[in-house]
Amino acid sequence: MKTYRQGDVLFIQMEIRNIERMKEDLSKLERTTVVARGEATGHTHELSDPDSAILVEVGGWFRIERYDSRRHDFRIVLHTDTGATIKHPEHGHLNLPKGTYMIRNQREYMSYTDND
Amino acid sequence: MLDIRTGKENSKLSTGIIYASVRNGELIVRTCGPKSQTREKHVIEHDKITESLCTRGNNQHLMPGMSNIWHKKGGAYYIRPGIDGELIVKQEGVTTDKHIIRNGEQVESLRILGARKEHWVAGTFEKIYERGALVYERYFRDDWEMLYKGKFLRKVEKEYTLERYSDHGDMVREVVYWSNGQQMYDIHQQDKDICVFDEHGLPLSKITLATGLSLDNKLLKPIIDLSAIVHLTARFPGEWYYETYYCKSDWIFSWMKGREFSPEEGFKCGEYYYFIRGIRVPEHIAQGQYGAADILNYPNETVRNELLRRHGLARLARELHGQTLDKNETYELIRFPVPHGTVPDTVLKVLKMRCPSTQKWHFLRVPPQCNNINEALNWTYGIRITDTRSARTKLEMITET
């Protein structure tokens, strides 16, 4: 799987079998332009052009295995037909090629109770 | 009290057939119909009825079957619904229960177990007597609902007597007395200042809470745990402080303060108590006089993790020379031994990473199972180590900014 990183945010490109069906499902959800907000500085990772991609926070009912056989837990999905750019005040612009991405934030290990 | 229809203690009464469970003993049913009275007696041995006798008026005869009771598997006996009368259940050598039945409903029960007697009246009260003395009384309204207003509970223990009061169906007050009748404390819902007195009526302790005390009627023991106060182990929600006094004086013997059920600082017998995340620690640790080696050598894991958080991984990596497990221009995976760690945390692994944009170094703790940079980095983004090792789900970093 191809991944792209901007600071503490990771974009994992998904191989979607039925893109139209997924886009239809995503269209039922509220769109946003903010990928993530920094915990310390409050700076945001966000879309440079809001029309360049569908970016939605998904709830528990949205299961990516309907569209990609590899199951993953995630909170935000980004789909772009033309390619999209993510901007952040402290990091360089991240250019994402066309495709569907699930988005993960960085986490830290605490002890054995916090295993995966 | 046993609900004979469900076989459960303190269960909510439900309509339906009446149930009793007897392994060895007797079941006696007395019914009083509009025209006649009957008495059935069934002797039960090892879950089986061995003898049945029925008396109707002056006629007495052995019963071929049971008229008001029928047997089900598992030693359970069901009473015909709709009857008025009494059901007496004698468990051989153990208990005798007497249940009053009105129109098939259990309305009153009496259980005798040696010197203990339990008396229950539906929707009214439950009382327990020990050797003739009333030691427990609880008052209800419908079924098992708390009394709407007034004293709903009184419980006598060897050391104290507990009383509770309700208003509008909620518990609003608790009073505890010493065994000599002297009041220990009297608290109301949302009280913030609580005084506790000893058996002679002298102040023993004072508790000050930032948020009012919430009274809970579910636990059948005093809300203020005097033993915990004396031993400096009591905890409360919100910010809290309490102190105890020397006998017959107002000198403070000990005190403790904390917040959200976690002590922070205390004093007893000339000695200060310090805590980190509710765990007692030495003074120098509480005052921040420790280095990275002290942290990794600290025996308690909760405290060790908290000290790590306060100290920071960057500072730790600067102070100690860990073993580099994997390294490239942007990342380094470093290993530090943790002598008192529990498996698998006998080592601390830190991923040192440089931001491609800002060129700043960042440090993240990763699981001890990570063997290389790729596994560690992927784990920080929520990807399982097993997925990282799998060719099918192998991740390939295309761009980093």
* Cα(A114)–Cα(B368) distance, integer angstroms: 11
Domain count, chain B: 3
Rounded (10°) CA dihedral A18, A21, A23, A28 = -160
pLDDT surpassing 80 at residue B75? no
Does residue B227 lie in a domain region? yes
Q: What is the pTM for the complete model shown?
A: 0.66
pLDDT at B1: 46
Please check whether residue B396 lies inside any domain of the structure.
no
User: Which of B382, B392, B398 has the CB atom closest to A4's CB atom?
Assistant: B398
- Nearest 5°: CA angle at A103, between A102 and A109? 125
Q: Considering the domain boundaries, does residue B134 fall inside one? A: no
Query: Same domain for B103 and B226?
Result: no
Task: Band the pLDDT of B397: cuts 50, 70, 90.
Answer: confident
Give the distance from residue A37's alpha carbon to the nearest chain B alpha carbon, in angstroms. 16
User: Can you tell me the distance from the alpha carbon of A37 to that of A23, in angstroms, rounded to the nearest whole number?
Assistant: 25
Pull the structure tokens for residue A40: 């310390």
User: Residues in chain A whose beta carbon is closer than 8 A to a beta carbon of chain B?
Assistant: 1-7, 10, 12, 70, 72-74, 88, 90-95, 104-112, 115-116
Question: Is pLDDT above 80 for B163?
Answer: yes
Name residue A55's beta-bridge partners. Answer: A78
How far, in Å, CA of B257 to CA of B264, rounded? 6
Count of beta carbons in the 10 Å neighbourhood of residue B81: 14
State the CATH number of the domain containing residue B169.
Answer: 3.90.930
Q: Residue B239: beta bridge partners? A: B259
SS3 B225: coil
- B195 falls within a domain: yes
Who contacts B170 (Cβ-Cβ below 8 Å, separation ≥6)? Answer: B146, B189
Pair (B73, B153) in one structural domain: no
Task: Mark whether B115 and B165 lie in a shared domain.
Answer: no
Domain boundary among B119, B138, B157: B119
Distance from the first to the final alpha carbon of chain B: 69
Q: How confident is the model over B336-384, as pLDDT tens digits?
A: 999 988 888 899 999 999 988 888 899 999 999 999 998 898 888 887 7
Collect all residues with Cβ–Cβ distance below 8 Å to B339 and sequence separation of at least 6. Answer: B296, B297, B346
Mean of the per-residue pLDDT values for chain A? 82
pLDDT(A115) > 50: no
Q: What percent of chain B has pLDDT over 90?
A: 50
Among A36-40, A83-87, B49-53, which stretch is predicted with the lowest mean pLDDT? A36-40
* Two tokens, residue B52: 């049945």
Instruction: Grade residue B79 by pLDDT with cuts at 50, 70 and 90.
Output: low
**Distance linking the first and last C-alpha atoms of chain A:** 20
| Complex-level ipTM beyond the 0.85 threshold | no
In terms of residue numbers, what domain contains B82? 1-119
Residue B297: φ, ψ to 5°: -90, -5
User: Of B176 and B248, which is predicted with more confidence?
Assistant: B176
Q: Which of B344, B366, B382 sits opposite A104 (nearest CB)?
A: B382
Distances (CA, A) of B254 to A12, A102, B208, B228, B269: 58, 56, 14, 12, 7
- Cβ atoms of B279 and B303 closer than 8 Å: yes
Measured in angstroms, the CA of B84 and the nearest CA of chain A are apart by 55
pLDDT at B396 over 60: yes
| Nearest residue in chain B measured CA to CA from A8 | B381
**Chain B residues inside the 8 Å CB shell of A104:** 381-383
Tokens 């009105």: give the residue: B102
Residue B135 belongs to a domain: no
Stretch A21-32: mean pLDDT, rounded?
85
Residue B348 lies in a domain: yes
The three-class DSSP label of residue B303 is: helix
In a domain? residue B41: yes
Judge if B4 and B104 occupy the same domain. yes
Beta strands in B157-210 (DSSP E): 160-167, 170-178, 183-188, 193-197, 203-209
Q: B362 and B257: one domain? A: no
Question: Are B230 and B103 contained in the same domain?
Answer: no
For chain B, the average pLDDT equals 85
Query: Is pLDDT above 90 for B206?
Result: yes
Closest CA to B1 of B164, B113, B161: B113
Contacts of B345 in chain A (CB under 8 A): 111-112
Q: How far apart are CA B25 and CA B46, in angstroms?
A: 9
Q: CA B2 to CA B276: how far, in whole Å?
A: 47
